[in-house]
Chains A and B, each alone.
Chain A
Amino acid sequence: MSFKAAVLVFPGSNCDRDCKVAVERSTGGHVDMVWHQDTALPSGLDLIVVPGGFSYGDYLRCGAMASLSPVMAEVVKAAERGVNVIGICNGFQILCESGLLPGALMRNNTLKYICKPIELKVENHNTAFTQGFTPGKSVWMTQGNADGNFVADADTLNAIEGNGQVVFRYVENPNGSANDIAGLMNERGNVLGMMPHPDRAFEAELGSDDGAILFRSLMERVAA
């Protein structure tokens, strides 16, 4: 049975199609697009992707309004059932705002929109998202955001570090993110949020195909 994923689409999403193509080409799986007003998700999903972009124009706070859209209530329920969820860039912000992940993402401490390839260290290889990455080898993906500066209070940071929830770290911190955190998962290990884009690094022609390893890791974990 082939890998089955859904990509959410909010008004202002702009990486939704990239995510669909990235998952399809990385896994050979089937990807449905799900509108933010929908009140049901396709059945039998292996992965829900919350894509990057500028949902609701980034008004109020990045991801705040999207986190309250009807489809997110279904995503929260699916995550509680154990369905894998990945939020990329604006998707990471939405997952934090929805409470599926701890902490918050603030304006980059440089005050600049950062758009460049970025080097990452895989901090935890023992996750559904990262089991396929080669230990000791750094990973390249693309960063593209103005609000990627992860913050959390000291107790939360201690907890997520202690639980192995930090999945990716920046080799050179571009934005002031606490503990160089670039990607973070929930305690259960089925919800991942990350600022760098695996969906912009899934074929060598894009400068890196490391992003495909993430989607294939999930496929292999689900098939196992």
Chain B
Amino acid sequence: MKAKVHVFLKPGVLDVQGKAVEGALNGLSTVQGWANVSHVRVGKVLEFDVAATTAEEAKAQVKDMCDKLLANTVIESYTIEVA
């Protein structure tokens, strides 16, 4: 089964990379016009195969992976897709 995990900083946690990207997009506006961009967040996507008999079983395992390694729940939240 294919698993896809999205990891983002939690709302309220300052995303300095997002801020920098937002500043660059806004800054380019004199040339090209993206002053309309705001609230940029930079996150991660992890894709992998997981051997499991049901989607529920796979999802439970991926959740365990997220809690133990793939995300730091002090500062990050995650979403899981299994297909």
Contact = CB atoms under 8 A, between A and B. Distances in A.
A152 interface: yes
B75 A151 contact: yes
Interface of A: 60-61, 64-65, 68, 96-97, 102-104, 106-109, 111, 151-153, 176
7 contacts: A102-B74, A103-B74, A106-B14, A106-B75, A111-B16, A111-B17, A151-B13
A106 B14 CA distance: 9
A60 B75 contact: no
Contacts, number: 33
Nearest to A104: B74
Interface stretch (B27-35, B52-60, B65-73): B65-73
A65 B72 CA distance: 11
Given A104-B75, A111-B20, A64 B13 contact: no
A212 to B, nearest CB: 33
Contacts of A108: 16
B69 A65 contact: yes
A-B complex: 5 closest residue pairs judged by Cβ atoms: A104-B74, A104-B75, A107-B16, A111-B16, A104-B72
Task: Kindly name the residue among A68, A103, A106, A109 whose own CB sees the greatest number of chain B CB atoms within 10 A.
Answer: A106
B72 A68 contact: no
Given A111-B20, A176-B14, A68 B69 contact: yes
Contacts of A60: 69-70
Interface residues on B, range: 10 to 19
Contacts of B75: 104, 106, 151
Give the dominant DSSP class at A's interface: loop
A155 B72 CA distance: 17
Given A107-B17, A111-B16, A152 B74 contact: yes
A61 B74 contact: no
A92 to B, nearest CB: 14
Nearest to B46: A60
Nearest to B17: A107
A60 B72 CA distance: 10
Contact of B72 (A61, A107, A111): A61
Nearest to A96: B74
Contacts of A65: 69
